[in-house]
Amino acid sequence: MERNSSLMSGAHLLTLLLLIFSSVQLKAQLSFYTGLDGYLDDNIYNNYLGVSDMINSFSLGTSLDFESSQNDFGVYYDGNLTLFSENTFKSSNTHKLGLVNSFYFSAVNPLTIGANYSFRNYDNGYDVYDWKQISFYANYRQYTFDNDFVLAGYIFNRIDYPNLETFSYNEHRGFIKYKALFNSKTSLLLGIEGNYKDYIQKFKQSSTINNAIQLSSFVQIAQSLGESTGLSLFAQVRKNIKDGNRSANWNDYIYYEEEMLNDRYSHDGYDGGVKLTQMLTPSLILSGYVNYAKRNYTNLPAADLEGNDFEYTREDDNFKYGLQLEASLGSILSGLYGDLNWDYVRNTSNDEFYNYSNQVFSAGFEFNF
């Protein structure tokens, strides 16, 4: 009976959508993209072991968009296959299917709502990290002047780890952003965000958290230095209002969530950076960046290489810099783009396991049609 009811509800929803679309004049557009990237990574785990590998990544996506004078509706799919040459168990496939709708109260002030479902599967031996996610979101953009606007929104995520259920959670995120453009060719972006993480499995032990709260604020300034040069700077501060740890115990060894899943709620701190962009030709762009991040893991003990905990918690200083060359290759094939990248990371930590450097060379192509 429930299945029949669900089918009827789905049929009613489809009928309603068809009635809405048939009542307005629509423009439909179908688009595809495909990409191929290669990475030479000398530290795939980002730790002192320095395990290197050659990684190939293939991506494919499509979208179908319907446009009218007051409404834009789209359905899309994104897929990715990542293959490790040596550490083949880390190879994975990722899929994302979603829909999004923008309703315009005026010519430039849209209310956007959407939903998507995504999942990632790893090869045998690494499938403990498999995950599934469903997301719903809504945001509204209100222009205050010709080029200035306020954007406010809400995002709900449910992340499930089928083989690590203790780490599965629901997440609520709310944000407000303000962007302004000035006659000096300067743009200013300000934002605040509040995040609430609520674990699905609840525990009564005081040493294990059931939820976490993190607040963040950021500022970004971009400045045109001429017709072909641009400079941007950003800074961000993140503060945990409520935090703690979750862990899994295997073979008498404790694995913390941060160590397994790179959980951003496990640390707070600040980061900032600068990026310089130079248009060499109309089809060739060179950019370089330098970033710094301070990370305080207030509930994660630092340890030596034998796994013995120290009496103090982990703290990291993370420096990252790199170069990127982007090329529009439309003269060869319309819709073809390419890029070359070099990135270097130096992470200094009072946890010996996370004292490392990481260098990545990558190249890729993307074709839109």
The one-letter amino acid code at 190 reads L
Phi/psi of residue 218, nearest 5 degrees: -150, 160
For residue 192, what are its two tokens?
């605040």
* Amino acid letter, 340: L
Of 71, 83, 159, 79, residue with least CA distance to 123: 83
Averaged over successive runs of 10 residues, the pLDDT of the chain (369 residues) comes to 46 53 70 98 97 98 93 97 97 98 89 98 92 98 91 98 95 98 95 98 86 97 95 98 83 78 92 98 98 95 90 96 98 96 98 97 97
pLDDT the model gives residue 6: 43
Instruction: Return the pLDDT at 255.
Output: 78
For residue 309, how far is the Cα from the chain centroid?
A: 31
The answer to whether 222 touches 231, Cβ cutoff 8 Å, is: yes
113 CB-near residues (< 8 Å, 6+ apart): 100, 101, 136, 137, 138
CA distance 41 to 46: 10
What is the pTM assigned to this prediction? 0.88
Is 133 within 8 Å of 110 (Cβ atoms)?
Answer: no
CA 213 from centre of chain: 19
Residue 241 tokens, joined: 């209002």
Quick one: pLDDT at residue 249? 76
Residue 120's φ and ψ, nearest 5 degrees, are -135, 135
pLDDT on residue 5: 46
Structure tokens at 194: 């509040």
> What is the distance in angstroms between the CA of the first residue and the CA of the last residue of the chain?
44
Q: What is the 3-state secondary structure (H, E, C) of the chain?
A: CHHHHHHHHHHHHHHHHHHHHHCCCCEEEEEEEEEEEEEEECCCCCCCCCCCEEEEEEEEEEEEEEECCCEEEEEEEEEEEEEECCCHHHCEEEEEEEEEEEEECCCCCEEEEEEEEEEEEECCCCHHHCEEEEEEEEEEEEECCCCCEEEEEEEEEEEECCCCHHHCEEEEEEEEEEEEECCCCEEEEEEEEEEEEEECCCCCCCCCCCEEEEEEEEEEEEEECCCCEEEEEEEEEEEEEECCCCEEEECCEEEEHHHHHCCHHHCEEEEEEEEEEEEEECCEEEEEEEEEEEEEEEEEEEECCCCCEEEEEEEEEEEEEEEEEEEECCCCCCCEEEEEEEEEEEEEECCHHHCEEEEEEEEEEEEEC
Q: What's the chain's length in residues?
A: 369
CB atoms within 10 A of CB 143: 14
